[in-house]
Amino acid sequence: MKKSCISIFLATLVFGSAVHAGGADGLVARGRYLVAVGGCNDCHTPGFAEQGERIPEKSRLTGMAVGYSGPWGVSYPANLRLAAAETSERAWLARARRGGLPPMPWSALQAMSEKDLRAVYRYLRHLGRSGEAAPAALPPGAPIPTMHFVFVPQPPTTVKLGQAAH
């Protein structure tokens, strides 16, 4: 009887650990999927717009020093890997719910379930620290020391873009 109790106890420990690890791996896989379909790499991975999936996963989500300027000032795509490494899961969830500056689609994060936000966080933690922090946001009217995209409506054009007016 004693041997069978010990065997059951050990089996429970081993099986329970395997299930827990599978659950964690499942969250990481879910986070990887959500990052991909959410388009996070488009802004948060340098060169992704040009190279796409050719950029190795180990080089992704490190933020960019190319800003987005508009009426809000200038915002930069954060290094999500550093952000996740430097904050608790609870703080990550609160930050996602709070929102921030455009053009980050904060409403998409706010619409995500808590489980999905946790999955994204766990995926970022799984990737580990890499890269440098993105520049801090700038207020409207401040000089912009980096390359940036301008998010301000422009008037219609009368010539094809790229065609010089003679």
For the segment 45-67, the average pLDDT, to the nearest whole number, is 96
Residue 45 domain flag:
yes
- pTM for the predicted model, two decimal places: 0.80
d(CA 46, CA 61): 8
Under 8 Å between Cβ of 133 and 38: no
In a domain, 158, yes or no: no
Count of Cβ atoms closer than 10 Å to residue 73 Cβ: 17
- 161 inside domain: no
Match 């301000």 to its residue by tokens.
152
Is 159 a domain residue? no
**124-161: pLDDT as tens digits:** 999 999 999 999 999 999 999 999 999 999 899 888 87
Which residue range(s) make up the domain with 6?
2-150
Per-residue pLDDT at 93:
97
Give the pair of three-digit tokens for residue 72: 């809000």
Residue 163 in any domain: the answer is no
Tally of domains in the chain? 1
* Segment of 2-6, 14-18, 107-111 carrying the highest mean pLDDT: 107-111
Answer whether residue 70 is part of any domain.
Answer: yes
Residue 166 domain flag: no
Question: What amino acid is encoded at 162 in this protein?
Answer: G
126 close to 28: Cβ distance less than 8 angstroms:
yes
Which residues on neighbouring strands pair with residue 75, listed in sequence order?
68
Q: Residue 162 domain-assigned?
A: no
Instruction: Give the gyration radius of the chain's Cα atoms.
Output: 22
